[in-house]
């Protein structure tokens, strides 16, 4: 079955979640790397924890709660000024370069409001056929009900989709669901330097392949490499 749609993860795939460090650097330069890395790790952990608890609070809540955790863990008082400034940056993340072909859509853990602001601020909304939030499933990826939203929203069968993500947990979830999957592998190949800093620790945890047996169909280094797969 030919591929009729490219479905992208948003955070970490189309948008650089670590571009928030430009703002944390302005606010707390001595601790910007630590805050940025803990924030993203805890953000993912909280989505999985919410799934396990069988409760749902949207990604806006999760993002703020994980930020408060990261600030406190780094020894920074989570004032409203700091929180608002960093959350505002999350609505205007830097996009990675490159655009694909055929039908294009996002499937993201982001809330509907967060994604609407993000794609508008980056002007990506002009290129997308749909922006799908897991709000409609009231679960977070990698729960199968999240990936099932693609057929509900776009009418695309499982074997008509190439799902694209840079997040290895998302690759596992999409492959388990039955999609063809392209993993954008950014980093993770180099041997770790010593001492290991927060950013490198994040890459070692998140930029290497999972080992549960759900392997991607394709591995590419950047969004611009996807054209060779179509």
Which candidate in 9, 58, 135, 170 is catalytic?
9
Whether the Cβ atoms of residue 78 and residue 50 lie closer than 8 Å to each other: no
Rounded distance, CA 104 to CA 13, Å?
14
H or E stretch at 71: helix 59-73
Q: In 21-33, which positions are buried (b, 16+ CB within 10 angstroms) versus exposed (e)?
A: bebbeebbeebbb
Burial of 105 (0-12, 13-18, 19+ CB in 10 A): buried
Is 9 a catalytic site residue? yes
Task: Tell me the catalytic residues.
Answer: 9
């Amino acid at each position: 079955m030919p591929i009729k749609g490219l479905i992208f993860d948003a955070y970490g795939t189309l948008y650089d979640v670590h571009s928030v460090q430009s703002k944390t650097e302005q606010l707390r330069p001595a601790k910007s790397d630590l805050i940025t890395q803990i924030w993203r790790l805890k953000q993912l952990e909280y989505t999985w924890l919410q799934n396990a608890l069988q409760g749902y609070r949207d990604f806006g809540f999760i993002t703020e709660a994980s930020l408060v955790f990261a600030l406190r863990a780094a020894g920074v008082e989570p004032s409203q000024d700091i929180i608002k400034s960093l959350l505002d940056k999350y609505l205007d993340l830097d996009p990675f370069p490159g655009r694909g072909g055929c039908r294009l859509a996002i499937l993201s853990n982001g809330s509907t409001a967060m994604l609407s602001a993000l794609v508008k601020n980056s002007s990506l909304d002009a290129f997308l056929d749909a922006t799908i939030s897991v709000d409609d499933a009231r679960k977070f990826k990698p729960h199968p009900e999240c990936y099932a939203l693609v057929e509900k929203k776009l009418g695309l069968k499982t074997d008509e989709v190439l799902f694209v993500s840079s997040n290895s947990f998302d690759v596992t979830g999409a492959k388990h669901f039955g999609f063809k999957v392209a993993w954008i592998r950014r980093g993770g190949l180099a041997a770790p330097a010593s001492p290991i800093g927060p950013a490198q620790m994040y890459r070692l945890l998140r930029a290497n392949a999972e080992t549960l047996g759900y392997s991607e169909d394709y591995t590419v280094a950047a969004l611009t490499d996807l054209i060779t797969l179509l």
